[in-house]
Amino acid sequence: MEKAGRGGDGAPRGPVLHIVVVGFHHKKGCQVEFSYPPLIPADGHDSHTLPEEWKYLPFLALPDGAHNYQEDTVFFHLPPRNGNGATVYGISCYRQIEAKALKVRQADITRETVQKSVCVLSKLPLYGLLQAKLQLITHAYFEEKDFSQISILKELYEHMNSSLGGTSLEGSQVYLGLSPRDLVLHFRHKVLILFKLILLEKKVLFYISPVNKLVGALMTVLSLFPGMIEHGLSDCSQYRPRKSMSEDGGLQENNPPAYDFVSASVSGISNTNLGIVKKVMAGNHGGDAAIKTKEPLFQVDNNSKGQEPNDTNQYLKPPSRPSPESSESDWETLDPSVLEDPNLKEREQLGLDQTNLFPKDSVPSESPPITVQPQANTGQVVLIPGLISGLEEDQYGMPLAIFTKGYLCLPYMALQQHHLLSDVTVRGFVAGATNILFRQQKHLSDAIVEVEEALIQIHDPELRKLLNPTTADLRFADYLVKHVTENRDDVFLDGTGWEGGDEWIRAQFAVYIHALLAATLQLDNEKILSDYGTTFVTAWKNTHNYRVWNSNKHPALAEINPNHPFQGQYSVADMKLRFSHSVQNSERGKKIGNVMVTTSRNVVQTGKAVGQSVGGAFSSAKTAMSSWLSTFTNSTPHSLTEPSDGKP
């Protein structure tokens, strides 16, 4: 078989970048023990040195608390090297073995057990597919009982790149191991709450141990978003590791992140003399062009966004540390007058000479923004209408640009990454953690998802109201739950049909998000949007992902029915669904529910004590009451957890 692992220029021809072994040293802690090809080309395969961007790799591959489990699996994301390129997807298989079972025991093995992880670092998000292959090799590697036998790892690298070299990101293999069906069975009606939380770009923390349950639940939720796993995560881990506590003040001195663009709203920098502008092509994500300036440069009050400047000679200064409250669209848009080009022919071809259509002192805010975007391999800056997500989109604009511009997706977070939760350059995150310290820092997140108990703790009362499901949403969630649980008792039919299966569930969420997007484009759409939640839609329209989507045209949505898939007249069934939901969602309702369950239990015990003298009539009453109670305890579990006494 031809070795397809590396091309003639030394670059990997397949999706796998490195095979890495991480071990736990009794004095040094977690460290890289082997890498193929070497993580740093000038070093050897056994070098412990790490690229600065990947300094957290050992702690991600060998998770916190791993010693409590014989084996585990971790999905994690690493930032690109040198600020260029896309997310690096990591899959790690952890195992531990008793030291006395080893055939060859190195001198530095002083503990009773040996803990190691074998990792694959990939350019493609093939989580389940790579995990399946990696688990087999990890098992074989440990069965050797001699960790110096690394030939099997080199063969793994060559085999993966040869077998996955032509792998497409379309198809079911992308979703291998991610089961929305299991997610709905576990979270039931709360799945839609998770979906909307991420649409709003909130800070969402998943919590459970071991890690394989954590990353499985988190990535399965993301798989409900059309195209998200395939093409929506390429910009989801753009962060810089912290060298020391004193580094915060100069985070962007070297290799500035992609969002350090010179930017402002159109009306905010009209008639502005911009001075000297220097284009820089290096040190940005994916080769995107950034606009850098020679000193001295721009200064402007950040509070003047969207208003006319008092001084026409004010300058704009790129924010050194963008605040979480800052408008993300302001990070990437430019006033047309900033980049006036004497070559008007090119401007006319692109249809962008609308800058003269409006008076300089009155530019409508709804005009489409203009984005600086380089042409591939040319370094030429062209003007393109609309915000550019940088993602590979379909005809409907999917995937949404959620995980861009500082909104992170970290399926597993090591304790060493805790500072990212409060980093001002991180505007939000969907992250997973197994360490209880993350869960205790409740003020650093908007919602904590306790996977084991299927609970969603939302601290802000306003956000809870925002996410309170509408009647149509409750019907949609109930429809999913009923179809998933329908054939569950039949071992032969369970999970085999289209309806209620994994692909069917993803299709339902695709219909939901397409209809929601189409509804936002309708005129006089208040009644249509009320089925999705008017306050929710209003909040969503202010998010970065919606503004990017709305700034571009998607003609295919004209064929989509904008009405909620489960719109309709309010019925008795809806009253029962709503009442059940309300009972389960308030503290008072939970107390009433508990009293009712206790009463039912006492009734049963009393019935046994009374015996058969009153038997028939009493038994009928007991059955009727139990049936009535079951409608509240089983049909619709609670979707949101309200902290008792107003405290999270």
Q: What is the pLDDT of residues 105-157, one digit of tens each?
A: 776 676 778 889 999 999 999 999 999 999 999 999 988 888 888 899 999 99
- The predicted structure's pLDDT at residue 218: 97
Give residue limits of the domains in the chain.
Answer: 16-165, 180-239+382-464
Q: What is the pTM of this model?
A: 0.70
Quick check: do 16-165 and 180-239+382-464 share a fold? Answer: no
Amino acid at 62: L
Amino acid at 372: V
* 13 vs 167: CA distance, rounded Å: 12
* 357 vs 363: CA distance, rounded Å: 9
What parts of the chain have a pLDDT lower than 50?
1-10, 245-385, 572, 574-576, 579, 613-614, 628, 632-633, 635-639, 643-648
* 127 vs 327: CA distance, rounded Å: 33
**CB 199 within 8 Å of CB 192:** no
Would you identify the CATH topology of the domain 16-165?
A: Beta-Lactamase (3.30.450)
Using alpha carbons, select from 481, 479, 434, 467 the residue that is nearest to residue 205: 434
Q: Which CATH class is domain 180-239+382-464?
A: alpha beta
Dihedral of CA atoms 267, 271, 277, 283 in degrees, nearest 10, equals: 0
* 142 vs 152: CA distance, rounded Å: 11
Q: What is the pLDDT of residues 273-329, one digit of tens each?
A: 333 333 333 333 433 333 333 333 333 344 433 443 444 343 333 344 444 443 333
Cβ atoms within 10 Å, residue 609? 7
The encoded tokens of residue 269 equal 């920098």
- The predicted structure's pLDDT at residue 357: 39
Cβ atoms within 10 Å, residue 570? 9
- The predicted structure's pLDDT at residue 44: 84
Distances in Å between the Cα of 135 and the Cα atoms of 45, 117, 138, 289, 294 are: 22, 10, 5, 41, 52
Q: Please give the distance of CA 230 from its chain centroid, rounded to a whole number.
A: 12
